[in-house]
Amino acid sequence: MKETAFFNDFLRMADDAWHMGWHESNGGNLSYRLRDKEADEIRESFMPGDWHKIGVGVPVLASSFFIMTASGSHFRNMLKDPETSLGIIEVDDTGERYRQVWGYANGGRPTSELAPHLLNHQVKMEATGGVARVIYHAHPSDIIALSFVLPLEDEAFTKELWGIMTECPIVFPSGIGVLKWLPPGSLDLAIATSKLMDRYDAVVWAHHGIFAAGADFDSVFGLVHTIEKSSGILLKVMSTGRDRLSGITSGQFKELAARFDLKLDERFL
């Protein structure tokens, strides 16, 4: 297990995110959908447990394997004690149940936000033709702070962040979604997020954090890092109390799209 690339990439992202300050206490969670070849390479180390209800049907993910953080685990301990801090689960052939097959030592279990992860893995798998494999939830402070001072609307967040840092429309050309506060780990939160993740790769959970998806660990970490950094810049600009004397215009967005062959969502231009 410890020699596989996906395992070490998972640990690296978790440790990097901890050092970014995005995971106080046991906050946040991370999951990755294994390729068939990756699951086959480590299958001999599996020790399957009992089947449990997921709480939501994910038939598209039938017979898939996921590595994900444990409920109550601390990102700061991922490198030190991975067999307690994370584990691997298998979804059954109906997409209704899961079982633990590796890790989650000392009576552990998958993240309490298992339903949001799996439901949105299914959405992103269908939306990207199987390309998206990583789902990540973090608590970056500037993103959370911004959810108190901007309207909780996709357009408001996207336009403000696109306009504050040139990299933003390049990194998230489809924009970002925004949800009002909903109970963490709830089915309501899972379903509401899934309705936005069909269009976006990142959704702000108001007063809570961010939920993001992508093809690999680098792209997802970079997406969240970009949104958090631009949120911090925006908050600094807002804190001056002065009128803005310049900004990126709609015409410049179009120039950027042509320069980098981007398909920017025209709702935000």
DSSP track, the chain: -TT-HHHHHHHHHHHHHHHHT---TT--EEEEEPPHHHHHHHGGG------EE-SS--GGGTT-EEEEEBTT--GGGTTT-HHHHEEEEEE-TTSSEEEEEEE-TTT--B-TTHHHHHHHHHHHHHHTTT---EEEEE--HHHHHHTTTS-SSHHHHHHHHHTT-THHHHH-TT--EEE----TT-HHHHHHHHHHHTT-SEEEETTTEEEEEESSHHHHHHHHHHHHHHHHHHHHHHHT-PPPS----HHHHHHHHHHHT----GGG-
* pTM assigned to the model: 0.94
pLDDT reported for residue 247: 85
What is the count of structural domains for the chain? 1
Quick check: 45 pLDDT over 90?
Answer: yes
Quick check: 110 pLDDT over 90?
Answer: yes
Share of the chain above pLDDT 90, in %: 89
pLDDT reported for residue 245: 85
Q: Which domain holds residue 138?
A: 5-268
Using CA atoms, how far apart are residues 49 and 73, in angstroms rounded to an integer?
20
Using CA atoms, how far apart are residues 84 and 103, in angstroms rounded to an integer?
6
Residue 134 CB neighbour total at 10 angstroms: 25
How many angstroms separate the most distant Cα atoms in the chain?
A: 63
Chain centroid offset of residue 144 CA: 15
Quick check: 239 pLDDT over 90?
Answer: yes
Tell me the β-bridge partners of 184.
none
Quick check: 226 pLDDT over 90?
Answer: yes
Query: Exposure of 78 by Cβ count < 10 A (0-12 exposed, 13-18 middle, 19+ buried)?
Result: buried
pLDDT reported for residue 95: 97
Mean pLDDT in the chain?
Answer: 95
Angle at CA of residue 180, ends 29 and 162, nearest 5°: 80
The residue from 90, 113, 160, 228 that is catalytic is: 113
Q: What is the CATH number of the domain that holds 239?
A: 3.40.225.10
Query: 243: pLDDT confidence band, cut at 50, 70 and 90?
Result: confident
**Whose CA is closest to 216, among 42, 12, 58?**
12
pLDDT reported for residue 89: 98
**Whose CA is closest to 177, among 193, 189, 165?**
193
Q: What are phi and psi of 208, to 5 degrees?
A: -135, -50
Tens digit of pLDDT for each residue in 11-28?
999 999 999 999 999 999
Query: 204: pLDDT confidence band, cut at 50, 70 and 90?
Result: very high
Using CA atoms, how far apart are residues 208 and 144, in angstroms rounded to an integer?
6
Concerning whether 113 is annotated as a catalytic residue, the answer is: yes
Tens digit of pLDDT for each residue in 91-105?
999 999 999 999 999
Using CA atoms, how far apart are residues 66 and 13, in angstroms rounded to an integer?
16
CB-based contact 122:111 (threshold 8 Å): no
pLDDT reported for residue 246: 87
CB-based contact 202:143 (threshold 8 Å): no
Residue 193 token pair: 């997020």
